């Protein structure tokens, strides 16, 4: 029997910890409980062995082994090790992110008699109850009853003890404290189907309009609002979602009850089927129903051949917006299933693209499982077990779905692979796309990264021949890409003599689109009303108390439930405050509001187009999946003909009536201090342009810009992604930026400014003195956001040609920092950082 076990614990230390095996030898991949600086932590056994620790090192015994079998299969353990090494992250923290949540392996507590308990039982039998106990005679009797019940040594659940002896939890816990009993946690597989309530709008068809008319006038405003809400989503909605929506608009819960009593809404109970949504226009085909065109057929053939071959094969699918990538994904997934394998489809944010999941269910029925962060723990548990049993062979999910316990994984697809939300911005700071490629490698599976605007990293990998490039250069059914017109806002100012949010051309085109009965979308990529509140006298901006960030003004709206006097909001930490009467710095009364956000955009559009049916899509109007589904349903139905919103509107939506897209103020991001600024602007503008002209009618795009000559803008106008990447790659090569160098951002952070600066100068000196011929270090410098959520931030940017050299320096730096007593949690190591802010 091995004597020792190495455990990865979820603590920010780059090491594993050795414990003595205590009776039960854990299998590698099982969870264990281990003592750690006075606490009991749950970790994962990563190695069992007989290597005695060096003399003098005290080894504590494991407290408990929680699983009989490995919770994580070998390939996921290997993936965890790879992530820990690649991202220089503590293995325990990586594993914590990969493990199913506790609900997935829910544990209940059982009690077992302990040595001391037995002694009490026997002594008590001999001498009678102790007189000195502070407990009542009744409780003492109960304690004896419990000890008696457990005497045979079997563990019992609390519920069993309660019904047998009347003991309550407090009493049992008291006995645990006296060490008469031990309490143990037992894993319990939970995947019973749950029931859930659906609110259904009662059909009124047969009743005739008159009858409805007679009934409806009796409804009050709130009741009508609830009815409208349900009608907007096709008459059915999860009660849970409906309640959330009502709560937000301030309609009391009882309204729903009244409507049920009056027979206008029925409550149905169904076994919880997953809710995938499924917004699409009537008569529009599902992705799996299309006969693939030539480009799609070719793309599929390449991918399908790889699937048939078995073995790791990475692909980059570059397909312009509206080229029909979804249909290719679905066909490839079908091939994987036919070959007896499972398929994983990763999407950036499930709530933003409900149509995708709806189509998946249409195509694959109950083979589909869904994984994302908005699921309740029970829902997640159910999905997790269905996947692990092999019942669900098609999994769709966000970033962390890359750790799904798939059986015979044959195909991984990463849709919109360029999307920033694949990057996890907390430890472990992994990139879901890159982990997906590694996972496919470990599983000898095919991986497809798809996008109309692939990341430069992926494009360069295809250039080097590491990925097979598959291209779909035109839209389905020979639909043209929309014509893009640039409006030079400097000229606009010269000609009109005033600073306007919307140019004359944009107003004209919007007007014309609405008059033709078509739909228009306007991108205004900031939420709120004004994103800067500034003092005219001293020039100072009103900043967040916790962050070095300008606060955004949100205009009160009718029915707004937010507190008055809290109209300024920090979009980084959520802090709110009232609008000050005078400048906090100089006391001047001349504060003014600058920079229009989507809320102001909506207001201005209402003034300009009073007849338009305007909708807004941003984090303030769309808080969850239900909101998004409702908004998209109204767009598909044509109930909204003018939509304004933030980058959310650019995400994969396929609304055939949209023929015009206007872009306002999106090029300000070109000026951000981040080497990926041009790439991001290009991607956003191309993606949002891609929403126009996806139906029968051709589309048109108008981009308002102050940087008309910037190459990113020029290439957007020409729909020339390959041209853009070629130019951008040159610049990256020249500047030694990724993908021609590997990069890490190291942030030194502390609530105390002097610590942040002091530690960064200590590290800066170390970097200087250490012979770093293979790694270039920039910094220390104040991070672009120097204070965030009350924490001061200084940073270094490390660049290297070789990943190994970079990893080596980072690890050496962490060792040095440890020796200098710089706490590990004050150092953020972000390998392949996506944001340098």
Ligand X SMILES: Nc1ncnc2c1ncn2[C@@H]1O[C@H](COP(=O)(O)OP(=O)(O)OP(=O)(O)O)[C@@H](O)[C@H]1O
Return residues touching ligand X (CB under 6 A).
285, 287, 290-293, 296, 319, 321-327, 452, 476-477, 652, 654, 690, 694
- Say which entry of Zn ion, ligand X, none residue 223 contacts (CB below 5 to 8 A, set by partner kind): none
Pick the stretch among 545-553, 588-596, 698-706, 718-726 that binds Zn ion (CB under 5 A).
Answer: 545-553
- Tell me whether residue 287 or residue 800 sits nearer to ligand X (CB atom): 287
Pick the stretch among 104-112, 164-172, 570-578, 624-632 that binds Zn ion (CB under 5 A).
Answer: 570-578
Query: In whole angstroms, how close is the CB of 574 to Zn ion at the nearest point?
Result: 7
Pick the stretch among 147-155, 302-310, 571-579, 737-745 that binds Zn ion (CB under 5 A).
Answer: 571-579
Distance of CA 177 to the CA centre of its chain: 41
Instruction: Consult the annotation and say whether 142 binds a ligand.
Output: no
Q: Which of 342, 332, 446, 435 lies closest to 389, judged by CA?
A: 342
The sign of the dihedral angle between the CA atoms of 574, 575, 578, 580 is: negative
Query: In whole angstroms, how close is the CB of 692 to ligand X at the nearest point?
Result: 10
Q: Where are the beta strands (DSSP E) in 476-550?
A: 483-488, 519-524, 530-535
Query: In whole angstroms, how close is the CB of 298 to ligand X at the nearest point?
Result: 12
Pick the stretch among 146-154, 447-455, 572-580, 636-644 that binds Zn ion (CB under 5 A).
Answer: 572-580
- Say which entry of Zn ion, ligand X, none residue 501 contacts (CB below 5 to 8 A, set by partner kind): none
3-state secondary structure 250-310: CCCCHHHHHHHHCCCEEEEEEECCCCCCCCCCCCCCCHHHCCCCHHHHHHHHHHHHHHHHC
Any idea what the Cα angle at residue 50 is, between residues 49 and 55, rounded to 5°? 125
Instruction: Consult the annotation and say whether 5 binds a ligand.
Output: no
- Tell me whether residue 430 or residue 660 sits nearer to ligand X (CB atom): 660
Pick the stretch among 419-427, 431-439, 569-577, 664-672 that binds Zn ion (CB under 5 A).
Answer: 569-577
| Burial class of residue 699 (count of CB atoms within 10 Å of its CB; 0-12, 13-18, 19+) | buried
Structure tokens at 200: 């259904």
Q: Say if CB 466 and CB 312 are below 8 A apart.
A: no
- Say which entry of Zn ion, ligand X, none residue 275 contacts (CB below 5 to 8 A, set by partner kind): none
Query: In whole angstroms, how close is the CB of 295 to ligand X at the nearest point?
Result: 9
- Tell me whether residue 323 or residue 530 sits nearer to ligand X (CB atom): 323
Structure tokens at 747: 């942030």
Query: In whole angstroms, how close is the CB of 541 to Zn ion at the nearest point?
Result: 13
Please count the other Cβ atoms lying within 10 Å of the Cβ belonging to residue 563: 9
Query: In whole angstroms, how close is the CB of 478 to ligand X at the nearest point?
Result: 10
Interacting residues of 706 by C-beta distance below 8 A, sequence separation 6+: 488, 489, 490, 667, 668
Rounded to whole angstroms, how far apart are CA atoms 799 and 744? Answer: 7
Pick the stretch among 152-160, 223-231, 454-462, 563-571 that binds Zn ion (CB under 5 A).
Answer: 563-571
- Say which entry of ligand X, Zn ion, none residue 547 contacts (CB below 5 to 8 A, set by partner kind): Zn ion
Query: In whole angstroms, how close is the CB of 683 to ligand X at the nearest point?
Result: 11
Q: Which of 572, 706, 711, 740 binds Zn ion (CB under 5 A)?
A: 572
Structure tokens at 609: 């187009």
Question: Which run of H or E residues covers position 173?
Answer: helix 169-177
Rounded to whole angstroms, how far apart are CA atoms 44 and 8? Answer: 5
Pick the stretch among 55-63, 242-250, 525-533, 537-545 that binds Zn ion (CB under 5 A).
Answer: 537-545
Q: Which of 253, 242, 185, 240 lies closest to 378, judged by CA?
A: 240
Q: Which of 573, 672, 786, 805 binds Zn ion (CB under 5 A)?
A: 573
Q: Which of 573, 575, 577 lies closest to 564, judged by CA?
A: 577
Query: In whole angstroms, how close is the CB of 340 to ligand X at the nearest point?
Result: 26
| DSSP state, residue 541 | B
Q: Which of 575, 682, 724, 737 binds Zn ion (CB under 5 A)?
A: 575
- Say which entry of ligand X, Zn ion, none residue 573 contacts (CB below 5 to 8 A, set by partner kind): Zn ion
- Tell me whether residue 625 or residue 653 sits nearer to ligand X (CB atom): 653
Rounded to whole angstroms, how far apart are CA atoms 199 and 267? Answer: 5
Query: In whole angstroms, how close is the CB of 196 to Zn ion at the nearest point?
Result: 37
Instruction: Consult the annotation and say whether 535 binds a ligand.
Output: yes
- Say which entry of ligand X, Zn ion, none residue 575 contacts (CB below 5 to 8 A, set by partner kind): Zn ion
- Tell me whether residue 655 or residue 748 sits nearer to ligand X (CB atom): 655
Pick the stretch among 334-342, 416-424, 540-548, 641-649 that binds Zn ion (CB under 5 A).
Answer: 540-548
Q: Say if CB 653 and CB 353 are below 8 A apart.
A: yes
Residues 491-530, one symbol each (x = binds Zn ion by CB under 5 A, - = not), give ----------------------------------------
Q: Alpha helices of 419-548 — where are they, by DSSP H?
A: 432-442, 456-463, 489-496, 504-515
- Tell me whether residue 359 or residue 550 sits nearer to Zn ion (CB atom): 550
Q: What is the largest CA-CA distance in the chain?
A: 104
Q: Where are the beta strands (DSSP E) in 597-741?
A: 614-617, 642-645, 658-664, 700-705
Any idea what the Cα angle at residue 390 is, between residues 384 and 395, rounded to 5°? 55
Structure tokens at 375: 């699921």
Residue 546 binds to Zn ion (criterion: CB under 5 A): yes
End-to-end Cα distance, the chain: 51
Residue found under tokens 């506790």: 102
- Tell me whether residue 88 or residue 414 sits nearer to ligand X (CB atom): 414
| DSSP state, residue 551 | P
- Say which entry of ligand X, Zn ion, none residue 816 contacts (CB below 5 to 8 A, set by partner kind): none
- Say which entry of ligand X, Zn ion, none residue 651 contacts (CB below 5 to 8 A, set by partner kind): none
- Tell me whether residue 572 or residue 711 sits nearer to Zn ion (CB atom): 572
Rounded to whole angstroms, how far apart are CA atoms 547 and 456? Answer: 31
| DSSP state, residue 629 | H
Strand, coil or helix: 88: coil
> In terms of residues, how long is the chain?
837
- Say which entry of Zn ion, ligand X, none residue 572 contacts (CB below 5 to 8 A, set by partner kind): Zn ion
- Tell me whether residue 103 or residue 786 sits nearer to Zn ion (CB atom): 786
- Tell me whether residue 30 or residue 650 sits nearer to ligand X (CB atom): 650
Residue found under tokens 């001391």: 116
Strand, coil or helix: 531: strand
φ/ψ of residue 13, rounded to 5: -130, 135
Strand, coil or helix: 165: helix
- Say which entry of ligand X, Zn ion, none residue 544 contacts (CB below 5 to 8 A, set by partner kind): Zn ion
- Tell me whether residue 577 or residue 727 sits nearer to Zn ion (CB atom): 577
Query: In whole angstroms, how close is the CB of 291 to ligand X at the nearest point?
Result: 6
Strand, coil or helix: 417: coil
Query: In whole angstroms, how close is the CB of 696 to ligand X at the nearest point?
Result: 11
Q: Alpha helices of 474-624 — where are they, by DSSP H?
A: 489-496, 504-515, 598-608
Q: Which of 45, 355, 547, 605 binds Zn ion (CB under 5 A)?
A: 547
Q: Which of 77, 544, 642, 716 binds Zn ion (CB under 5 A)?
A: 544
Residue 566 binds to Zn ion (criterion: CB under 5 A): no
- Say which entry of Zn ion, ligand X, none residue 322 contacts (CB below 5 to 8 A, set by partner kind): ligand X
Rounded to whole angstroms, how far apart are CA atoms 617 and 602? Answer: 10
Query: In whole angstroms, how close is the CB of 666 to ligand X at the nearest point?
Result: 17
Query: In whole angstroms, how close is the CB of 525 to Zn ion at the nearest point?
Result: 19
- Tell me whether residue 62 or residue 452 sits nearer to ligand X (CB atom): 452
Query: In whole angstroms, how close is the CB of 598 to ligand X at the nearest point?
Result: 21
Residues that bind Zn ion (CB under 5 A): 544, 546-547, 570, 572-573, 575
* Binding site as annotated, residues: 535, 538, 544, 547, 570, 573, 583, 586
Q: Which residues are annotated as a binding site for Zn(2+)?
A: 535, 538, 544, 547, 570, 573, 583, 586
């Amino acid at each position: 029997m091995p004597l020792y076990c190495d455990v990865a614990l979820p603590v920010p230390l780059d090491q594993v910890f050795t414990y003595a095996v205590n009776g039960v030898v854990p299998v590698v991949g099982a969870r264990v409980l281990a003592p750690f600086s006075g606490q009991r932590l749950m970790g994962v056994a990563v190695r069992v062995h007989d290597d005695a620790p060096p003399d003098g090192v005290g080894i504590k015994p494991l407290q408990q082994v929680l699983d009989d079998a490995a919770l994580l299969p070998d390939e996921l353990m290997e993936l965890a090790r790879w992530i820990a090494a690649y991202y220089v992250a503590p293995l325990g923290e990586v594993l914590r992110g990969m493990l199913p949540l506790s609900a997935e392996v829910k544990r209940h507590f059982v009690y077992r008699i302990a040595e001391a308990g037995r002694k009490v039982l026997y002594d008590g039998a001999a001498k009678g109850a102790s007189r000195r106990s502070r407990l009542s005679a009744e409780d003492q009797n109960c304690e004896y009853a419990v000890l008696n019940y457990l005497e045979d040594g079997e563990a019992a659940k609390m519920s069993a003890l309660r019904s047998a002896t009347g003991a309550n939890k407090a009493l049992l816990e008291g006995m645990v404290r006296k060490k008469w009993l031990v309490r143990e946690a037992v894993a319990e597989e939970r995947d019973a189907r749950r029931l859930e309530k659906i609110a259904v709008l009662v059909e009124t068809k047969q009743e005739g309009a008159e009858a409805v008319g007679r009934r409806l006038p009796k409804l009050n405003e709130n009741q009508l609002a609830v009815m409208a809400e349900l009608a907007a989503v096709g008459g059915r909605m999860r009660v849970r979602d409906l309640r959330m929506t009502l709560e937000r608009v301030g309609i009391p819960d009882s309204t729903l009850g009244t409507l049920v009593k009056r027979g206008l809404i029925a409550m149905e109970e169904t076994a919880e089927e997953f809710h995938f949504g499924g917004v699409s226009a009537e008569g529009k085909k599902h992705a799996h129903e299309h006969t693939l065109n030539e480009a799609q057929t070719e793309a599929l053939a390449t991918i399908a051949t790889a699937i048939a071959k078995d073995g790791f094969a990475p692909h980059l699918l570059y397909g312009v917006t509206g080229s029909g990538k979804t249909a290719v994904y679905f066909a490839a997934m079908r091939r994987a299933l036919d070959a007896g394998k499972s398929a994983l489809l990763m999407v950036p944010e499930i709530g933003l693209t409900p149509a995708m999941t709806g189509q998946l269910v249409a195509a694959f029925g109950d083979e589909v499982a869904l994984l994302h962060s908005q699921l309740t723990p029970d829902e997640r548990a159910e999905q997790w077990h269905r996947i692990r049993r092999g019942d669900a062979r098609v999994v769709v999910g966000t970033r962390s779905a890359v750790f799904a316990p798939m059986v015979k994984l044959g195909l991984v697809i990463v849709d919109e692979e360029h999307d920033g939300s694949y990057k996890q911005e907390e430890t472990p700071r992994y990139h879901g796309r890159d982990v997906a490629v590694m996972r496919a490698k470990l599983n000898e599976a095919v991986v497809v990264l798809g996008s109309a605007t692939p990341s430069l990293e992926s494009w360069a990998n295809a250039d080097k021949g590491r990925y097979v490039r598959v291209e779909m250069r035109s839209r389905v059914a020979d639909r043209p890409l929309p014509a893009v017109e640039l409006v030079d806002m400097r000229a606009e100012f010269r000609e009109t003599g005033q600073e306007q949010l919307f140019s004359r051309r944009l107003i004209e085109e919007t007007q014309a689109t609405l008059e033709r009965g078509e739909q228009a979308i306007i991108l205004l990529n900031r939420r709120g009303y004004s994103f800067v509140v500034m003092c005219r006298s001293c020039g100072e901006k009103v900043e967040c108390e916790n962050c070095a960030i300008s606060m955004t003004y949100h205009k009160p709206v009718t029915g707004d439930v937010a507190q008055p006097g809290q109209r300024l909001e920090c979009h980084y930490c959520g802090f709110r405050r009232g609008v000050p009467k005078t400048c906090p710095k100089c006391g001047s009364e001349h504060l003014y509001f600058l920079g229009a956000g989507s809320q102001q955009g909506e207001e201005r559009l209402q003034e300009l187009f009073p007849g338009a049916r305007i909708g807004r899509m941003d984090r303030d109007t769309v808080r969850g999946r239900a909101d998004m589904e409702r908004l998209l349903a109204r767009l598909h139905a044509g109930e909204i003909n003018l939509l304004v919103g933030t980058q959310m509107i650019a995400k994969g939506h396929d609304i055939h009536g949209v023929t015009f897209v206007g872009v306002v103020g999106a090029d300000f991001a070109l000026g951000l201090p981040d080497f990926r600024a041009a790439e991001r602007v290009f991607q956003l503008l191309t993606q949002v342009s891609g929403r126009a002209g996806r139906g029968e009618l051709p589309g048109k795009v108008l981009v308002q810009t102050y940087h008309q000559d910037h190459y990113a803008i020029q290439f957007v106008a020409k729909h020339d992604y390959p041209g853009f990447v070629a130019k951008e790659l040159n610049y990256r090569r020249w500047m030694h930026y990724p993908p021609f160098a590997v990069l890490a951002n190291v942030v030194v952070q502390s609530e105390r400014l002097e610590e942040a600066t002091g530690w960064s100068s200590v590290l800066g000196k170390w970097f200087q003195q250490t012979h770093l011929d293979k790694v270039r270090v920039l910094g220390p410098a104040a991070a672009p956001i120097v204070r965030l959520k009350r924490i001061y931030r200084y940073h270094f940017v490390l660049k290297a040609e070789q990943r190994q050299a970079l990893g080596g320096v980072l690890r050496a730096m962490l060792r040095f920092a440890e020796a200098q007593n710089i706490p590990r949690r004050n150092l953020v190591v972000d390998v392949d950082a996506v944001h340098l802010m």
